């Protein structure tokens, strides 16, 4: 699932986005990338209510794909 969010990033957001898109991060191990990504997501969750609201609204509007009853 991809979400395109329209929000104004704060100074901390911009710093973390630069860190995430740096050349160092491209070649970093999975654990390092996961840690930096989770720190950014925690920052968005706790400091940007508009982002959380947009995600919740988007998830509600997406419909589940039809499930086929394989046991009939």
Q: Minimal CA–CA distance to 37: which of 48, 46, 49, 25?
A: 25
Task: Please indicate whether residue 46 or residue 61 has the higher confidence score (pLDDT).
Answer: 46
Contact 5, 51 (CB under 8 A): yes
Q: Within the chain, how many helices (H) and strands (E) appear?
A: 4, 0
pLDDT-derived band at 70, boundaries 50, 70, 90? low
pTM over 0.95: no
Contact 57, 37 (CB under 8 A): no
Average pLDDT of the segment spanning 26-50? 91
Average pLDDT of the segment spanning 46-65? 78
């Amino acid at each position: 699932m991809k979400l395109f969010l329209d929000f104004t990033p704060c100074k901390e957001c911009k710093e973390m986005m630069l860190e995430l898109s740096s050349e160092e991060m491209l070649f970093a191990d999975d654990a390092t990338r996961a840690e930096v990504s989770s720190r950014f997501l925690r920052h968005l969750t706790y400091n940007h209510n508009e982002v959380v609201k947009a995600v919740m609204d988007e998830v509600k509007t997406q419909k589940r794909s039809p499930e086929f009853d394989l046991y009939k």
